[in-house]
Structure 1
Amino acid sequence: GMGGGGKTTLAQMVYNNERAVRHFHMRIWVCVSDDFDVQKIVRAIIESVTRKKCRVSDMDLLQEELREILSAKRFLLVLDDVWNENEEKWYGLKDLLTVGAAGSSVIVTTRSKIVSLILGTVESYELAPLSEQDCWTLFKKRAFKSAEEPQNLVTIGKEIVKKCGGLPLAAKTLGSLMSLKSEQWEWRSVLQSEIWEVRGDGILPSLRLSYNHLPSHLKQCFPYCTFFP
C-alpha cells in the first residue's frame, strides 16, 4: 500500500494483540526500510530477542546464533517498510527462519506489489484508502482543540481533507498543522497551496506543507538529524 496508508499501524495492532502475545513464544520487530541487508536483519533479530548489543560480524556465526535462538520456538517476526525486490536476498533470509516451531509467522509491510508476489506464502492484504468521513474524523481530532467544531473553518477543513487521498497519516499531519491556525485566511492558504500540484507519493504534499509551516527553529532540527545514521 501507499506510504502513510496505515500498514505499520495495522501491523502494530496485530503485534500487540493479546492473542498474539499469548500464542507466540517471542515477538520481534525489525524496521528494514530501503537497506535490505540480511546480515543487519539477522543481527537486529538477535538483539531484539537477547536485549543485548550483537557485535558479531561473521555471517556464519550470526546464522548459528539465530538458529539457536529461534529453534523450536514459535515466533512472530514483523519486517516493517521493506523495499527489496531481489528474490535471492529474500530466499537467503527465508532459509534462516525455517528453524522456528510450527505456527511461526512473518508479517511484511511494503509499498511494493513485487515484494508481496515474491513472498507469496499467503495472499497479501492491500489496505484500502479511508473514506472522506473517516479522514475528517482523524483530521478534526487534531485540528480542533475542543469537541466543538468552528463552523467558519469546517467547510474549508473538509476541502483540505479531500486532498488527503484517504491516507490516515496525511489526515493526522494536516490536522496537527491546522491546530496552529485559527483564521480563515490561514486555512484557505493551505487549501490553495501550489504544493498540492506536486506529483509523487500521495503523502509527500501533506508532509511538505507541514514542514513549510514549521517555525524556523524547528526546521533547523531536520538538517541536524542528518548527522545521525
Structure 2
Amino acid sequence: MGGLGKTTLAQLVYNDERVKNHFDARIWVCVSDDFDVKRLTKAIIESMGGTANDLTELDPMQSRLREMLSRRKSFLIVLDDVWNEDQDKWDMVKSSLTCGNEGSAILVTTRIEKVASIMGTFPAHHLKGLSEDDCWALFKQRAFGDGSREVENTNLEAIGKEIVKKCGGVPLAAKALGSLMRFTHTQNEWLFVRESEIWDLPEDEENTILPALRLSYNHLPSHLRQCFAYCSIFPKDLRMEKEQLVHLWMANGFIPSKGKMELEDIGNEIFNELL
C-alpha cells in the first residue's frame, strides 16, 4: 500500500556512501503511472548527464543509452513507483539496460505484486508496517516537537496512542496526523480526530486516500485547502516552481489579504505551511 516507505527506503540505499563508492553511475527515475518507453529512456539518458532532445525515435534513443551505459564500469538505476504491468513494454526498456558490466543493478519500487514478478530477478522485498512503538515515536516527534509541549499536555498521550493505533503502522499516516495534532491544543480537538467517522469509510475505487491524509486535509483552513487542491492541475511528479505557483494562486484570487503584507509574501507563507 501507499505510505509504507518504499521510496524512502530506496533513497536511503541510493544515498548510502557504500553504494555511492561501489557504482560508477547512479540514476534515479520517477516512473509513476505514465510508463512511456521513450519518455523513460530519455529520462535515464538525461539523469546520466546526456541529452536526447535531438532524437525522436526510440531505436536511436536506446542506442545512445546503451553507448552511455557501456562506458560505465557499473551502474545503479532506480525506477521508482512503477505501475505498468505490460511485459512487452518492460522488455523494450530492459533491452537497452542489459549492456552494463557485471555488478550493475536495477532497483524497482512498486505497489503491485505482478509488476515485481515481471521485473524481478531476485525475490521482492516486502515492506511491513511500523511497530506500534515506532509508529508512536514518529507521531510523537511530529506532534510534540522538542518535548516541551508534551509535558504540558500529558493527558493527550493516551488519546494520541489510540489515534496511532488507527494508522495501521503506516509511517506516512503517523507523520501526517502528528503534524496535524501539533497545531491542535485542546483535548476535545484530539478526541474529535480519534472519533472521526472518516476512519470507518470503506476503501473502494472512489475512496483510496488514507483516512489520516483525508483528516489532515479536512483540518486545513479553507484558503490552504484551496491552494493545495489547485496543485492537482500539475502532472504527477512534475517539479513545481514556488514563485510560479504563488503567482498562479494570486491570479486566481486564492490568497487572502492580511493587513499591509504583500500578497506574494502571504503566498510564500502558505507555500511553506503546506510544505
Q: TM-score range, shorter-chain basis?
A: over 0.9
Moved more, 105-114 or 148-157: 148-157
Q: Deviations over 1:98-142 (max 9, x none)?
A: 011111101101111111111230011001111110000000000
Task: Find runs of 4+ consecutive structure 1 residues off by over 4 angstroms.
Answer: none
Q: Is the 8 A contact 1:167 1:203 kept in 2?
A: no
Partner in structure 2 of residue 166 of structure 1: 169
Moved more, 3-12 or 44-53: 44-53
- Structure 2 gaps of 5+ residues are 236-275
Partner in structure 1 of residue 16 of structure 2: 17
In structure 1, what residue type is equivalent to 2:194?
L
Q: Deviations over 1:154-213 (max 9, x none)?
A: 000000000111111111111001101010000111111111112238861111111111
Higher RCO by CA contacts (8 Å cutoff, separation 6 or greater) = 1
Q: Secondary structure at the match of 2:85?
A: coil
Residues 51/158 of structure 1: CA separation in 2 closer, same or farther (3 Å cut): farther
Partner in structure 2 of residue 134 of structure 1: 134
In structure 1, what residue type is equivalent to 2:37?
V
- Structure 1 gaps of 5+ residues are none
The aligned length equals 228
Q: Secondary structure at the match of 2:28?
A: strand
Q: Is the 8 A contact 1:165 1:202 kept in 2?
A: no
Partner in structure 2 of residue 86 of structure 1: 86
Q: Secondary structure at the match of 1:160?
A: helix
Q: Secondary structure at the match of 2:109?
A: strand
Distance 1:12 1:203 in 2: 24
User: How do 1:6-155 residues align onto structure 2 when only pairs under 5 Å count?
Assistant: 6-50=5-49, 54=53, 56-73=55-72, 74-148=74-148, 149=150, 150-155=153-158
Q: Is the 8 A contact 2:129 2:168 kept in 1?
A: yes
Q: Is the 8 A contact 2:132 2:164 kept in 1?
A: yes
In structure 1, what residue type is equivalent to 2:22?
H
In structure 2, what residue type is equivalent to 1:71?
S
Q: Please say which structure displays the higher CA radius of gyration.
A: 2
Distance 2:209 2:3 in 1: 6
Q: Secondary structure at the match of 1:114?
A: helix
Q: Deviations over 1:11-43 (max 9, x none)?
A: 000000011101111111111111111111111
Q: Is the 8 A contact 2:81 2:111 kept in 1?
A: yes
Distance 2:208 2:126 in 1: 16
Which of 166, 184, 189 is the aligned partner of 1:186? 189
Q: Given the two structures, how large is their TM-score scaled by the length of structure 1?
A: 0.94
| Aligned-CA RMSD value | 1.6
